[in-house]
């Protein structure tokens, strides 16, 4: 009886462990996507700053 109980607990723990692994994979994918978007936004901001700076410089010259 005790052996069967331990087997059931082991199955439960194994199933829970597998769920954690799947969750971790999902979170890692979300993190990678977020980092990619963050990098894209940083590049967009840098590009806009350069354009604004260029426009201000052009206006000063005229």
What is the C-alpha separation between 40 and 34, in angstroms, rounded?
Answer: 10
pLDDT along the chain (62 residues), means of 10: 96 99 99 99 96 84 70
- Rounded to whole angstroms, what are the CA distances from 59 to 14, 22, 38, 51, 55? 67, 56, 31, 12, 6
What is the C-alpha separation between 43 and 17, in angstroms, rounded?
Answer: 39
As for how many domains the chain has, the answer is 1
Range of the domain at 13: 1-62
What is the C-alpha separation between 40 and 28, in angstroms, rounded?
Answer: 18
What is the C-alpha separation between 15 and 4, in angstroms, rounded?
Answer: 17
In this prediction, residue 62 carries a pLDDT of 66
In this prediction, residue 56 carries a pLDDT of 83
């Amino acid at each position: 009886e005790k052996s069967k109980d331990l087997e059931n607990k082991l199955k439960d723990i194994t199933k829970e462990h597998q769920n954690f692994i799947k969750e971790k994979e999902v979170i890692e994918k979300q993190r990678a996507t977020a980092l990619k978007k963050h990098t894209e936004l940083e590049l967009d901001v840098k590009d806009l700053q350069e354009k604004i700076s260029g426009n201000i410089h052009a206006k000063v010259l005229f």
